[in-house]
Amino acid sequence: MPDHTYHIRVKKQYAAALIEDLIKVHAVEAVAEEEAVELTDQQKAALDKELAAVAADPAYLRKWNDIKQRFKKP
C-alpha cells in the first residue's frame, strides 16, 4: 500500500488533543507551517463527507488491528 501524506489544519481543541495523542504513538507526524499545502475544493468536499459519516455513526471508524487483519496476506 502506498504511503500517503495528508496535511490538515486542526481547529477544535478536542481534535488537537487527539492529534497530539497520534503524534505520541507515531501515527502522524507534525509538519512545519511552511510545509503545509492547501486542499483542493474536491479534497475538502471528500473530507467533509467522511467527517459527516463519522459524526452520524462513530462505528463507521474501524480499529487499526481490524484493518491490518483485512489486508494480511494468507
pLDDT tens-digit map of 15-56: 777 777 888 888 877 777 766 778 889 999 998 998 888 888
End-to-end CA distance of the chain: 16
pLDDT at 42: 93
Query: Higher pLDDT residue, 62 or 36?
Result: 62
**Is residue 5 domain-resident?**
no
**Is residue 41 domain-resident?**
yes
| Residue-range definition of the domain harbouring residue 44 | 13-71
d(C-alpha 53, C-alpha 60), whole Å:
7
**Is residue 6 domain-resident?**
no
**Is residue 1 domain-resident?**
no
Give me the residue label for grid cell 496535511: 7
Domain count, the chain: 1
pLDDT band at residue 3 under the 50/70/90 scheme: low
**Is residue 67 domain-resident?**
yes
pLDDT at 1: 47
State mean pLDDT over 7-18.
72
**Is residue 64 domain-resident?**
yes
